[in-house]
Amino acid sequence: MTMPQNLLASTLIGGVYLLLLFLLCFCAVIGWKLLRRRLAARKKPAPPPQEKPAEEKKDPPAPQKVYYLVEKKRTSKKEQYEKPKEIRFR
């Protein structure tokens, strides 16, 4: 093989290696996420059995209204203000 063909072959091999490495990592991440979902689904407790409908369930009492008292913040006005500070930039 001549020199240009060697360079092309090594570039192609590097590209194939990079593509295979990307696919391997991609599949590993997807597999890990699917595995975690399955394990989380197994850990969930079984839903409680449904109760038989009782005869005429009583309506729950209507929620009572709640009122909040909000006081306005009071501030006292000053009759005299201090002299403003001077800021000098050097």
Residue at 77 is within a domain: no
Round to whole Å and give the CA distance between 36 and 66.
44
Q: Which domain holds residue 13?
A: 1-46
pLDDT tens digits for range 39-54: 988 887 777 777 766 5
Round to whole Å and give the CA distance between 16 and 39.
34
Residue at 70 is within a domain: no
Residue at 25 is within a domain: yes
Owner of token pair 């909000």: 70
Residue at 10 is within a domain: yes
Looking at residue 13, the DSSP 8-state letter turns out to be H
**pTM of this prediction?**
0.42
What are 76's two structure tokens? 């006292």
Q: What is the pLDDT of residue 28?
A: 98
First-residue to last-residue Cα distance in the chain:
73
Residue at 72 is within a domain: no
Structural domains of the chain, count: 1
Residue at 71 is within a domain: no
Provide the CB-side half-sphere exposure for 1 (13 A, CA): 8
Residue at 19 is within a domain: yes
Q: What is the pLDDT of residue 20?
A: 97
Regions of the chain where pLDDT drops below 50: none
Owner of token pair 């839903």: 47
